[in-house]
Chains A and B, each alone.
Chain A
Amino acid sequence: MDLRYTEAEEAFRHELRAWLGTVLRDVPPEPPRDDWAGRRAWDTAWQRTLYDAGYAGINWPAEYGGRGATPTEHLVFLEETERARAPYVGMNFVGLLHAGPTLIVEASDHQKAHHLPGILRGEHVWCQGFSEPGAGSDLASLRCRAVRDGDDYVISGQKIWTSFAHVADYCELLVRTDPDVPKHRGITWLVLPMDADGIDIRPLRTMEGSTEFCEMFLDEVRVPVANRVGAENDGWRVAMTTLSFERGTAFVSEMLQTMELCGDLAALARTITRGSATAWDDAGLRRDLGRLAAELDALWALTKRNISEATRAGLVGAGGNVFKLAYTDLRHRLGEVALHLLDRAALSIDDVGELPTGRHVQGRIHGLSMTIAAGTTQVQKNIVAERLLGLPKEPPAGGR
């Protein structure tokens, strides 16, 4: 039980830090939030830069062009890129962290050779077509239908929460190929080229005012059977392989940003006046922030436990669900302390004059999505209770 990094890990950090120091000087400023073409170019250019330096696909196996880094090196990579304020994974997210890893495990050699290099080099942006308006927490009830017609599947249906669909090249798509069997057994995983005919994409404006999410409507879209990954009707299992790639690093960048946010909030409280004192003179506020800081430190330690477990056992156990439940709940409470502190300055999503309040308001709004995205807190708690504590499943709806 040792939190110290080894010499090799520190050497990796040192080399990476030196490289970031030189390369970041040439990275242009980040494009505006809703300039999707500009953001695509910016995100993929950074991916290309990583590729040229041998840092692309940091956690991918070397035989598929990745760096084959250990989970701890991946942690160091995220620590250092965050520290240096390097571009975030951005639109490369689905390709690098979802579709790519799935292809590595499940795709044919031809499919791998066709798709993996494009992801690593930042040539192809991927999006994810899993959720549907009627299939959220109960994803396996998805209805987007694919019917075999010769060498093609003909697909009709609707997908939602498809981030970056309007600028993506490919979509990892889950479709219903057999409606007459239990829901998990009639699903197929396909690679959908986003330039196929019959795809209509409409931006979905979030409560943050951003449009990175889309709705995707498919009307008799033809996809070659050769684009299928895994067997027909085996798509649920294929989709779940992504989970086995998680090494405890999923929230590292987020966590580092949140720790900074917490420190910034304390600094802000020292400058905000309340009557004849500052907000920081309020022991209640200090206690709340002290607790949140403690919680963040504890979650940082939990992150390292999860990464250590992944290093030893190959995957993260209970700690992954525990982390998500605790971290996303904390984000609500941190956000509420922030809004309470800002008082009427919270009535603007952007900074008010000289006051650096915007990031706290934006952070609070973002926090509202976090207990929903990637498995709601309520579903996660069921999983924790049933799988980790061994509690009995609830009887199925209908009384049986």
Chain B
Amino acid sequence: MDFWLTEDHEALRDGTRAMLADRFALDDLAALEPSGRPIHAERWLTLAGTGVFSLRTDGLGTREAVIVYEELGRHLVPGPVVGTHLASGLVEGASSGEAIVGVLEPGAEVTIVEHATQVTHLLWFRGDQLVLVDAHRLDVEALPRPLDALSPTARCLTPLDGVGQVIEQGAAVVELRRVGVVLTAALQLGVALGALELATAYAKEREQFGRPIGSFQAVKHLLADMLVAAEVARSAVYAAACALDGAGDGRDAGRAASTAKVMAGHAALLNGRTGIQVHGGMGFTWEVHAQRFWKRAVVLDASFGSSDDHALAIAGAL
């Protein structure tokens, strides 16, 4: 047993981090918000070019994928990075970045689609069937004020009966959805870490009562809680990736994936809101990035099953 990053993993993480720092600076992303089209075509091709979407179909594993997706989450990379990754090998152009593939998550009352005006396709996990939907065939109405401005939303007006075609079914679909759950959890882990880093830097520099606010125990404890949540989530996400790669501890892979989603979802939401709290009044402004982490955390908790859904699934097997 060696449950630690290998040297190759560290190199992969560092390389991804450097690419993202260069191409996905938060200030640049925020500048894209007013357009309602935050997926920048050229940068999307950069992601594809570095193998973000194709790394599993290129022969790497879920472990490598979560290392990359953790970094995407830390940088709040916008767009359906999980859907496009799952579509690699199934949808023409997904690997190369020419196709932008979202995920269709029908709701009981209303179906909300993310990035509706920029995606080319949508994947719909319907039980053990995988349905591919041509995004241009869906009639959608953009919602003028999406919760997360970097995840624009639209309401789907087209009835979903008979939409799209089944492109895969059976155990492979269940397994593919599991990868989607774990990659979403990896994004959540990254969001939790990004929020922590931003808040920690602020607590060191912001002074009140003549000293950095990070010297007060009340503030320290908030940041310690964030670190604990993120590190526990990291263990769950990496363990789930091992399980999906056949390198697990023998526990059920579905349970491991749900565990990752529950723990990373908790960490992202907790760190999102605590990050705002640490920033004080400025945390409530549009300008400061703290809010963006919390908003993304909410978006991701509503993707591939909420924390509650996964907690209930785990309980079902207790």
Contact = CB atoms under 8 A, between A and B. Distances in A.
A325 B307 CA distance: 22
A205 interface: no
B87 interface: no
Interface stretch (A158-166, A183-191, A282-290): A282-290
Contacts of A299: 232, 235
A302 B232 contact: yes
A262 interface: yes
Contacts of A286: 311-312, 315-316
Contact of A290 (B239, B243, B314): B314
A325 B315 contact: no
Interface in B232-289: 232-236, 238-239, 241-243, 247-249, 251, 255-256, 258-259, 262-263, 266
A385 B220 contact: yes
A172 B226 CA distance: 37
Given A1-B4, A294-B314, 14 more contacts: A1-B247, A266-B318, A297-B259, A299-B232, A301-B238, A302-B231, A305-B3, A308-B2, A318-B227, A381-B220, A382-B217, A384-B228, A391-B219, A391-B223
Interface residues of B, number: 57
A85 interface: no
A326 interface: yes
Q: Which of B5, B249, B266 has the most CB of A within 10 A?
A: B249
Contact of B242 (A1, A262, A290, A392): A1
Nearest to B215: A392
B218 to A, nearest CB: 10
Given A298-B236, A325-B224, A395-B211, A5 B311 contact: no
Given A3-B247, A4-B249, A395-B211, A389 B3 contact: no
A312 interface: yes
B190 interface: no
A15 interface: no
Contacts of B200: 389-391
Contacts of A381: 217, 220-221, 224-225
Contacts of B318: 262-263, 266, 289-290, 293
Nearest to A379: B217
A262 B217 CA distance: 33
Majority SS at the chain B contact face: helix
Given A290-B315, A298-B263, A305-B235, A395 B224 contact: no
Contacts of B231: 302, 318-319, 322
28 contacts: A1-B2, A1-B6, A3-B1, A3-B242, A9-B1, A75-B1, A289-B318, A290-B315, A293-B314, A293-B318, A294-B314, A295-B262, A298-B263, A307-B3, A308-B3, A319-B231, A322-B231, A322-B232, A325-B228, A382-B217, A385-B220, A385-B221, A389-B200, A391-B223, A392-B211, A392-B214, A392-B215, A393-B215
Contacts of A232: none
Contact of A2 (B2, B212, B227): B2
A6 interface: yes
Contact of A301 (B221, B235, B314): B235
Contact of A287 (B3, B4, B217, B311): B311
A3 B5 contact: no
B63 A1 contact: yes
A109 interface: no
Contacts of B4: 1, 305, 308-309, 312
B121 to A, nearest CB: 32
A5 B263 CA distance: 25
| Most B C-beta atoms less than 10 A away, residue of A1, A2, A386 | A1
A328 to B, nearest CB: 11
A295 B266 CA distance: 10
A266 B203 CA distance: 42
Contacts of B234: 305
Contacts of B316: 286, 290
Given A286-B315, A322-B232, A391-B214, A294 B310 contact: yes
User: Which of B63, B235, B316 has the most CB atoms of chain A within a 10 A radius of its CB?
Assistant: B235
A391 B228 contact: no
B92 to A, nearest CB: 32
A298 B225 CA distance: 16
B19 interface: no
Contacts of B5: 1
A381 B229 CA distance: 13
A304 B3 contact: yes
Nearest to B225: A381
A26 interface: no
Nearest to B307: A291
A137 to B, nearest CB: 12
Contacts of A308: 1-4
A389 B1 contact: no
Contacts of A295: 232, 262-263
A293 B315 contact: yes
A215 to B, nearest CB: 30
Contacts of A290: 262, 310-316, 318
A23 interface: no
Interface in B284-315: 307-308, 310-315
Contacts of B17: none
B220 A382 contact: yes
B220 A386 contact: yes
B182 to A, nearest CB: 13
Contacts of A394: 215-217
Contact of B1 (A5, A291, A390, A392): A5
A36 B255 CA distance: 43
Interface string B184-212: 00000000000000001001100000011
B126 interface: no
A388 interface: yes
Contacts of B308: 287
Nearest to B262: A294
B224 A389 contact: yes
A81 interface: no
B9 interface: yes
